[in-house]
Amino acid sequence: GQDGARQGRGNTLLIPEKTAFAPEITVPASVRLECNIERKLSEYVKKEASSVYPQVKTAPSVSAAIPGSVLTMQITSAPGWESDFAGSGRGKREMTVRGVLYEDGKERGNFLVNRHTARSKGFVPYRGTCSMLDNIARKMADDIAGWLESPSMGARLGDAEN
C-alpha cells in the first residue's frame, strides 16, 4: 500500500545548510560571494524535498553519525565557472553534486547529479553566471527530490543520465 515506499523513511530529513565545494575545486572567490550557490542549492533542495518529507531541516554540518534521515551533499565539479574572469564569458556552465542518503547511519542510496547550461552566444556579463548557476541549482533540487522518492545506489540524475 501507500506505506511501502515510505518504509524506513522518517518524517524528517536533515540536509547541510550549505552544499560545500569539494576541497580540490577552484572556484573564484567572486563567484562564491556573488552567486552564493552553496546556500542556494541547499535552500532549493529543502523546498523541493518537503514534498517527500514532512519536515526538512538544515544544519551547519551533517554526517552519517547523526540518527534519522540525513542527506550529505557536496559540489564535486564546477567546470567553466572561471571563464567569465578571462573576459570571454563564453562556454557552458556546469555543476556536479554527489549526495548520499543515510538512515540511522546506514547508507540507503547515493547519486551524482549533473546539470549544465547550453553554450552561450557572445559575451555573458558577470551577473549572467549567477543566474545560470541559479537555474542549474533549481533543476538539480528537482532531480534530487525525485530521487528521494525512491533512493537507489549509484543513481545518475539530470544530465548525468546520458
Beta pairing partners, 109: 101
Lowest mean pLDDT among 8-17, 48-57, 61-70: 8-17
Confidence tier at 116 by pLDDT (50, 70, 90): confident
Q: What are phi and psi of 117, to 5 degrees?
A: -95, 160
Instruction: Give, in order, the Cα–Cα distances in Å from 81 to each of 22, 39, 113, 134.
Output: 15, 17, 17, 13
More confident residue, 124 or 63: 63
pLDDT the model gives residue 119: 56
pLDDT at 8 over 60: no
The closest of 89, 10, 98 to 55, measured between CA atoms, is 10
Confidence tier at 7 by pLDDT (50, 70, 90): very low
The C-alpha atoms of residue 58 and residue 42 are separated, in whole angstroms, by: 8
- Report pTM: 0.85
DSSP for residue 86: G
Convert the pLDDT of each residue in 135-155 to its tens digit.
999 999 999 999 999 999 999
For all residues of the chain together, what is the average pLDDT?
A: 85
Question: Which amino acid does the sequence have at 38?
Answer: E
pLDDT the model gives residue 2: 38
pLDDT the model gives residue 34: 85
More confident residue, 159 or 101: 101
The closest of 87, 68, 75, 64 to 133, measured between CA atoms, is 75
